[in-house]
């Protein structure tokens, strides 16, 4: 492979783009260009990409990137021709040509009715992991940005409970949306993935790792809360096993949060009582006293208890730690910013779940009061510890409608 001369590469890619409207000529010149940049030091006898069944030119990524840059505007302005060229590139069957085909799909408007059938059909055909990811991310780029509701409908189909074989596709498609700092509807994504994480087979552990790491980067508190809730409520022991296997790839703070819940449980074998070696057949039958049954303690679900700290405090304060020790598994998030920002953070954590017990201290008491009055159907009980309700400027937030929710107020 010759050293890449960027000036020459740009000229070659620019000339190649001139054949955009002539797919057969485009393919002829593309093959010549890919052959020119073949890395013979890496080429194997079979010329097949590792872990794939596709032939490959082992072209440096910079070459494909330059070709994509030259094709971008033409594809966006001429979606019909872009789709035609993408079909020809896909049928060529090489790793590089299929990556270019996936890129062209991503420049086509989401309103194009032939876009989704292409993505669906090609995803079902492909084994190569790089092309699969490109189809689920690059090919859906405009749909993800321009019509997010339509995109989430597609992902919901991938993650349907009866279609476990397509869950990996749904997870990979979601990851760029989660990583997008402009996307604000994270609660919708948490609702989508929670049942998948709980029921996912071990074959999905690499996809689950990517998903959980992306979610934690986007919202650490919501991710911790969701995973704790899944582990506390999971009926399938494999849920904890799978999460324990992939936990070394989590961020260290997340590993620490989940350590107790992921710790292996001891396996206890109950042996049947052995019969006596000597039996007196004339002895009267022995009456065994039935021990009084102790009433079973109802297991507390502390995942719906949340502590809201004050303005100068955090989740590591004395009160927060005391509550966390008393109610293992409860939620003790950190809140930052102005009051409205804290309320927005609280709303994301609560989501659409119901039956919450909210414990609010000082400014956290005001937050709990305002949230409860606006969302009484989600709160089971409100406990206020010296709440900041009367002091200006907080009192201005209390022009609220009264609601019927049990409240305990502790002053001092």
Choosing from 137, 157, 176, the residue where a domain stops is 137
User: What's the pTM?
Assistant: 0.62
Answer whether residue 293 is part of any domain.
no
Same domain as 23, residue 56: yes
pLDDT of 187 > 80? The answer is yes
pLDDT of 87 > 70? The answer is yes
**Residue 72: band (very low, low, confident or very high) from pLDDT cuts 50, 70, 90:** very high
Q: The domain that contains 349 carries what CATH number?
A: 3.40.50.1820
Same domain as 17, residue 39: yes
pLDDT of 266 > 80? The answer is no
Same domain as 245, residue 325: no
When divided into structural domains, the chain yields a total of 3
Answer whether residue 268 is part of any domain.
no
Same domain as 165, residue 102: no
Q: How large is the average pLDDT for residues 243-268?
A: 86
Same domain as 405, residue 318: yes
Give residue 109's domain range: 1-137
pLDDT of 157 > 80? The answer is yes
pLDDT digits (tens, 9 = 90+) for 16-57: 999 999 999 999 999 999 999 987 665 554 555 555 678 998
Same domain as 216, residue 184: yes
Q: Please give the pLDDT value at position 45.
A: 47
Same domain as 164, residue 89: no
Question: What's the 3-state SS for the chain?
Answer: CCCCCHHHHHHHHHHHHCCCCCHHHHHHHHHHHHHHCCCCCCCCCCCECCCCCCECCCCCHHHHHHHHHHHHHHHHHCHHHHHHHHHHHHHHCEHHHHHHHHHHHCCCCCCCCCHHHHHHHHHHHCCCHHHHHHHHCCCCHHHHHHCHHHHHHHHHHHCCCCCHHHHHHHHHHHHHHHHCCCCCCHHHHHHHHHHHHHHCCHHHHHHHHHHHHHHHHHCHHHHHHHHHHHHHHCCCHHHHHHHHHHHHHCCHHHHHHHHHHHCCCCCCCCCCCCCCCCCCCCCCCCCCCCCCCCCCCCCCCHHHEEEECCCCCCCCCHHHHHHHHHCCCCECCCCCCCHHHHHHHHHHHHCCCCCEEEEEECHHHHHHHHHHHHCHHHEEEEEEECCCCCCCCHHHHHCCCCCCCCEEEECC
């Amino acid at each position: 492979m010759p050293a890449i001369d960027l000036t020459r590469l740009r000229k070659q890619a620019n000339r190649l783009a001139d054949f955009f409207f002539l797919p057969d000529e485009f393919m002829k010149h593309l093959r010549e260009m890919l052959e020119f940049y073949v890395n013979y030091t890496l080429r194997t006898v079979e010329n097949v990409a590792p872990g794939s069944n596709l032939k490959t030119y082992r072209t440096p990524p910079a070459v494909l990137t330059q070709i994509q840059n030259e094709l971008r505007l033409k594809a966006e302005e001429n979606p019909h021709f872009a789709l035609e060229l993408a079909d020809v590139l896909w049928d060529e069957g090489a790793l590089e040509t299929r990556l270019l085909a996936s890129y062209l799909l991503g420049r086509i408007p989401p309103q194009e009715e032939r876009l989704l059938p292409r993505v669906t059909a090609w995803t079902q055909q492909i084994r190569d992991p790089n092309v699969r990811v490109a189809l689920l991310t690059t090919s859906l780029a405009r749909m993800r940005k321009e019509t997010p509701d339509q995109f989430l409908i597609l992902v919901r189909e991938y993650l349907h409970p009866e279609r476990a074989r397509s869950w990996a596709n749904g997870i990979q498609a979601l990851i760029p949306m989660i990583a997008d700092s402009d996307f604000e509807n994270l609660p919708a994504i948490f609702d989508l993935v929670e049942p998948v994480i709980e029921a996912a087979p071990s074959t999905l552990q690499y996809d689950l790792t990517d998903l959980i790491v992306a979610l934690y980067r986007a919202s650490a508190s919501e991710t911790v809360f969701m995973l704790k809730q899944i582990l506390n409520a999971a009926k399938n022991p494999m849920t904890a096993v799978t999460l324990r296997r992939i936990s070394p790839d989590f961020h260290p703070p997340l590993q620490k949060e989940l350590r107790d819940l992921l710790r292996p449980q001891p396996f206890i074998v109950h042996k049947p009582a052995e019969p006596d070696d000597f039996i007196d057949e004339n002895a009267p039958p022995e009456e065994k006293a039935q021990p009084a049954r102790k009433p079973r303690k109802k297991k507390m679900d502390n995942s719906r208890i949340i502590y809201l700290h004050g303005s100068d405090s955090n989740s590591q304060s004395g009160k927060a730690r005391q509550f966390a020790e008393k109610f293992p598994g409860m939620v003790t998030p950190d809140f930052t910013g102005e009051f409205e920002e804290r309320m927005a953070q609280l709303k994301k954590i609560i989501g659409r779940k119901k039956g919450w017990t909210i414990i609010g201290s000082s400014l956290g008491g005001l937050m709990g009061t305002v949230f409860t009055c606006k969302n009484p159907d989600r709160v089971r009980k409100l406990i206020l510890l010296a709440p900041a309700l009367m002091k200006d400027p907080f009192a201005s937030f209390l022009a609220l409608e009264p609601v019927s929710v049990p409240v305990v107020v502790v002053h001092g």
